[in-house]
A and B are shown apart, each in its own frame.
Chain A
Amino acid sequence: SQTIHQWPATLVQPVGSPLSLECTVEGTSNPNLYWYRQAAGRGLQLLFYSVGIGQISSEVPQNLSASRPQDRQFILSSKKLLLSDSGFYLCAWSWGVNEKLFFGSGTQLSVL
Protein backbone atom coordinates (compact mmCIF):
# COMPACT_ATOMS: atom_id res chain seq x y z
CA SER A 1 0.00 0.00 0.00
CA GLN A 2 1.01 3.59 -0.52
CA THR A 3 1.96 5.95 2.29
CA ILE A 4 3.02 9.57 2.39
CA HIS A 5 5.30 11.00 5.02
CA GLN A 6 5.59 14.68 5.77
CA TRP A 7 7.70 16.32 8.43
CA PRO A 8 7.99 18.12 10.73
CA ALA A 9 4.46 18.29 12.12
CA THR A 10 4.99 21.74 13.61
CA LEU A 11 7.62 24.38 13.04
CA VAL A 12 8.21 27.82 14.51
CA GLN A 13 10.64 29.97 12.58
CA PRO A 14 11.74 33.60 12.86
CA VAL A 15 11.15 36.01 10.00
CA GLY A 16 14.05 35.92 7.56
CA SER A 17 15.12 32.38 8.38
CA PRO A 18 15.28 29.59 5.78
CA LEU A 19 12.76 26.80 5.40
CA SER A 20 12.91 23.22 4.24
CA LEU A 21 9.91 20.90 4.40
CA GLU A 22 10.26 17.37 3.13
CA CYS A 23 7.73 14.90 1.82
CA THR A 24 8.25 11.32 0.69
CA VAL A 25 5.90 8.77 -0.83
CA GLU A 26 6.24 5.02 -0.49
CA GLY A 27 4.64 2.18 -2.36
CA THR A 28 4.26 3.77 -5.77
CA SER A 29 6.46 5.05 -8.55
CA ASN A 30 6.35 8.21 -10.65
CA PRO A 31 3.56 9.84 -8.68
CA ASN A 32 2.40 13.39 -9.26
CA LEU A 33 3.43 15.41 -6.21
CA TYR A 34 1.87 18.57 -4.81
CA TRP A 35 2.38 21.24 -2.17
CA TYR A 36 -0.74 22.99 -0.88
CA ARG A 37 -1.11 25.62 1.80
CA GLN A 38 -4.07 26.36 4.02
CA ALA A 39 -3.76 29.81 5.53
CA ALA A 40 -5.89 30.77 8.53
CA GLY A 41 -9.52 31.06 7.47
CA ARG A 42 -8.78 30.19 3.86
CA GLY A 43 -9.08 27.20 1.60
CA LEU A 44 -6.44 24.96 0.11
CA GLN A 45 -4.16 26.85 -2.21
CA LEU A 46 -2.02 24.94 -4.69
CA LEU A 47 1.58 26.14 -4.49
CA PHE A 48 3.57 23.70 -6.64
CA TYR A 49 3.11 20.44 -8.44
CA SER A 50 5.45 18.03 -10.16
CA VAL A 51 4.83 15.30 -12.72
CA GLY A 52 8.40 13.98 -12.66
CA ILE A 53 11.93 14.39 -11.31
CA GLY A 54 13.14 17.93 -11.80
CA GLN A 55 9.78 19.06 -13.26
CA ILE A 56 8.19 21.75 -11.10
CA SER A 57 5.18 23.90 -11.91
CA SER A 58 4.56 26.97 -9.78
CA GLU A 59 1.05 28.21 -9.26
CA VAL A 60 1.54 31.24 -7.06
CA PRO A 61 4.45 33.70 -7.29
CA GLN A 62 6.02 34.03 -3.87
CA ASN A 63 9.28 33.53 -2.03
CA LEU A 64 8.84 29.77 -1.84
CA SER A 65 10.37 27.19 -4.14
CA ALA A 66 10.03 23.46 -4.63
CA SER A 67 12.33 20.72 -5.79
CA ARG A 68 11.99 17.05 -6.65
CA PRO A 69 15.45 15.50 -6.39
CA GLN A 70 14.14 11.92 -6.43
CA ASP A 71 11.05 10.25 -7.83
CA ARG A 72 9.20 10.08 -4.54
CA GLN A 73 10.68 13.07 -2.72
CA PHE A 74 9.29 16.58 -2.81
CA ILE A 75 10.86 19.50 -0.94
CA LEU A 76 9.45 22.94 -0.20
CA SER A 77 12.00 25.64 0.54
CA SER A 78 12.46 29.30 1.25
CA LYS A 79 15.60 31.34 1.65
CA LYS A 80 13.93 33.98 3.83
CA LEU A 81 10.57 33.45 5.47
CA LEU A 82 7.95 36.17 5.69
CA LEU A 83 5.19 36.53 8.26
CA SER A 84 2.69 35.80 5.49
CA ASP A 85 4.26 32.37 4.96
CA SER A 86 2.59 31.12 8.13
CA GLY A 87 0.06 28.40 7.48
CA PHE A 88 -0.65 24.71 7.29
CA TYR A 89 1.40 23.09 4.53
CA LEU A 90 0.22 19.89 2.95
CA CYS A 91 2.02 17.53 0.65
CA ALA A 92 -0.04 15.26 -1.57
CA TRP A 93 0.36 12.69 -4.33
CA SER A 94 -1.78 11.25 -7.09
CA TRP A 95 -1.50 8.67 -9.85
CA GLY A 96 -2.07 11.18 -12.60
CA VAL A 97 -4.62 13.36 -14.30
CA ASN A 98 -8.20 13.36 -13.03
CA GLU A 99 -7.14 11.31 -10.05
CA LYS A 100 -7.85 11.95 -6.40
CA LEU A 101 -5.12 13.30 -4.18
CA PHE A 102 -3.77 11.56 -1.11
CA PHE A 103 -2.58 14.03 1.50
CA GLY A 104 0.09 13.89 4.14
CA SER A 105 -0.58 14.88 7.73
CA GLY A 106 0.61 18.46 7.22
CA THR A 107 3.10 20.87 8.77
CA GLN A 108 1.89 23.80 10.84
CA LEU A 109 4.36 26.60 10.17
CA SER A 110 4.37 29.69 12.35
CA VAL A 111 6.63 32.54 11.29
CA LEU A 112 7.22 34.99 14.14
Chain B
Amino acid sequence: DQQVKQNSPSLSVQEGRISILNCDYTNSMFDYFLWYKKYPAEGPTFLISISSIKDKNEDGRFTVFLNKSAKHLSLHIVPSQPGDSAVYFCAASQGGSEKLVFGKGTKLTVNP
Protein backbone atom coordinates (compact mmCIF):
# COMPACT_ATOMS: atom_id res chain seq x y z
CA ASP B 1 0.00 0.00 0.00
CA GLN B 2 1.62 3.19 -1.18
CA GLN B 3 0.94 5.91 1.36
CA VAL B 4 2.67 8.70 -0.56
CA LYS B 5 1.94 8.97 -4.26
CA GLN B 6 3.52 11.04 -6.97
CA ASN B 7 1.38 10.24 -9.96
CA SER B 8 3.42 12.12 -12.55
CA PRO B 9 6.67 10.30 -13.28
CA SER B 10 7.97 13.22 -15.32
CA LEU B 11 7.42 16.92 -15.99
CA SER B 12 8.97 19.21 -18.56
CA VAL B 13 8.88 23.01 -18.34
CA GLN B 14 10.57 25.97 -19.98
CA GLU B 15 13.21 27.97 -18.18
CA GLY B 16 11.68 30.93 -16.37
CA ARG B 17 8.25 29.33 -16.08
CA ILE B 18 6.66 27.80 -13.01
CA SER B 19 7.16 24.12 -12.17
CA ILE B 20 4.42 22.47 -10.11
CA LEU B 21 5.08 19.06 -8.65
CA ASN B 22 2.25 17.23 -6.96
CA CYS B 23 1.99 14.67 -4.21
CA ASP B 24 -0.95 12.87 -2.61
CA TYR B 25 -1.03 10.90 0.61
CA THR B 26 -3.45 8.46 2.14
CA ASN B 27 -2.46 8.40 5.80
CA SER B 28 -4.36 11.12 7.66
CA MET B 29 -1.93 10.75 10.58
CA PHE B 30 0.92 12.26 8.58
CA ASP B 31 1.78 15.65 10.04
CA TYR B 32 5.15 16.54 8.55
CA PHE B 33 5.92 16.73 4.86
CA LEU B 34 9.16 17.26 2.98
CA TRP B 35 10.48 17.62 -0.53
CA TYR B 36 13.86 16.27 -1.61
CA LYS B 37 15.80 16.80 -4.80
CA LYS B 38 18.00 14.10 -6.26
CA TYR B 39 20.57 14.13 -9.04
CA PRO B 40 21.65 10.85 -10.68
CA ALA B 41 24.13 8.80 -8.64
CA GLU B 42 23.85 11.16 -5.67
CA GLY B 43 21.97 11.11 -2.41
CA PRO B 44 18.79 13.19 -2.11
CA THR B 45 19.13 16.65 -0.63
CA PHE B 46 16.51 18.34 1.50
CA LEU B 47 14.64 21.21 -0.16
CA ILE B 48 11.76 22.36 1.97
CA SER B 49 9.30 21.07 4.54
CA ILE B 50 5.91 21.91 5.98
CA SER B 51 4.12 21.01 9.16
CA SER B 52 0.44 20.11 9.11
CA ILE B 53 -0.37 23.22 11.16
CA LYS B 54 0.53 25.33 8.14
CA ASP B 55 -0.78 25.44 4.61
CA LYS B 56 2.16 27.19 2.97
CA ASN B 57 5.89 27.47 3.43
CA GLU B 58 8.22 29.50 1.26
CA ASP B 59 11.97 29.45 0.79
CA GLY B 60 13.30 31.55 -2.04
CA ARG B 61 12.09 30.14 -5.34
CA PHE B 62 10.48 27.15 -3.64
CA THR B 63 7.02 27.11 -2.09
CA VAL B 64 5.21 24.12 -0.68
CA PHE B 65 1.43 24.14 -0.33
CA LEU B 66 -0.50 21.72 1.85
CA ASN B 67 -4.20 20.93 1.49
CA LYS B 68 -5.03 18.66 4.39
CA SER B 69 -8.66 18.10 3.44
CA ALA B 70 -7.58 16.83 0.03
CA LYS B 71 -4.49 15.09 1.42
CA HIS B 72 -2.48 16.84 -1.23
CA LEU B 73 0.69 18.87 -1.32
CA SER B 74 2.52 20.58 -4.11
CA LEU B 75 5.91 22.12 -4.70
CA HIS B 76 6.12 25.28 -6.79
CA ILE B 77 9.40 26.41 -8.29
CA VAL B 78 9.41 29.93 -9.67
CA PRO B 79 11.21 30.75 -11.86
CA SER B 80 12.43 27.36 -13.00
CA GLN B 81 16.10 27.06 -13.95
CA PRO B 82 17.95 24.36 -15.92
CA GLY B 83 19.85 23.45 -12.73
CA ASP B 84 16.52 22.46 -11.18
CA SER B 85 16.40 19.46 -13.51
CA ALA B 86 16.41 16.47 -11.15
CA VAL B 87 14.12 13.91 -9.56
CA TYR B 88 11.94 15.35 -6.82
CA PHE B 89 10.69 13.16 -3.99
CA CYS B 90 7.82 13.92 -1.70
CA ALA B 91 8.05 12.44 1.81
CA ALA B 92 5.87 12.32 4.89
CA SER B 93 6.07 11.27 8.50
CA GLN B 94 3.66 10.64 11.31
CA GLY B 95 3.93 12.29 14.69
CA GLY B 96 6.27 10.36 16.97
CA SER B 97 7.62 8.23 14.15
CA GLU B 98 11.26 8.04 13.18
CA LYS B 99 10.37 6.99 9.64
CA LEU B 100 9.97 9.02 6.47
CA VAL B 101 7.78 7.51 3.75
CA PHE B 102 8.76 8.55 0.25
CA GLY B 103 6.88 8.74 -3.01
CA LYS B 104 8.31 7.31 -6.23
CA GLY B 105 9.54 10.68 -7.45
CA THR B 106 8.91 13.01 -10.37
CA LYS B 107 11.63 13.73 -12.88
CA LEU B 108 11.67 17.44 -13.68
CA THR B 109 13.35 18.68 -16.84
CA VAL B 110 13.78 22.42 -17.28
CA ASN B 111 14.54 23.29 -20.88
CA PRO B 112 16.69 26.36 -21.69
Contact = CB atoms under 8 A, between A and B. Distances in A.
A binds B: yes
B45 interface: yes
A102 B31 CA distance: 19
Interface in B62-98: 89, 91, 93, 95-98
B98 A96 contact: yes
Most interface-central of B49, B89, B100, B102 (chain A CB within 10 A): B100
Contacts of B41: 9, 88, 106, 108
Contacts of B91: 44, 101
B56 interface: no
Contacts of B103: 43
Given A43-B103, A49-B98, A49-B99, A98 B42 contact: no
Contacts of B32: 98
A98 B99 contact: no
Nearest to A46: B99
A100 B34 contact: yes
A100 B45 contact: no
A105 interface: yes
Contacts of A103: 36, 43-45
Nearest to B47: A100
B104 A43 contact: yes
Contact of B98 (A6, A9, A42, A97): A97
Nearest to B32: A98
Contacts of A76: none
A104 interface: yes
Contacts of A94: 98
A24 interface: no
A90 B43 contact: yes
Contacts of A59: 99
A98 B102 CA distance: 14
A32 interface: yes
A49 B101 CA distance: 12
Interface of A: 6, 9, 32, 36, 42-46, 49, 51, 59, 88, 90, 92, 94, 96-98, 100-106, 108
Which 3 pairs, one residue from A and one from B, show the smallest C-beta to C-beta distance?
Answer: A103-B43, A43-B104, A44-B102
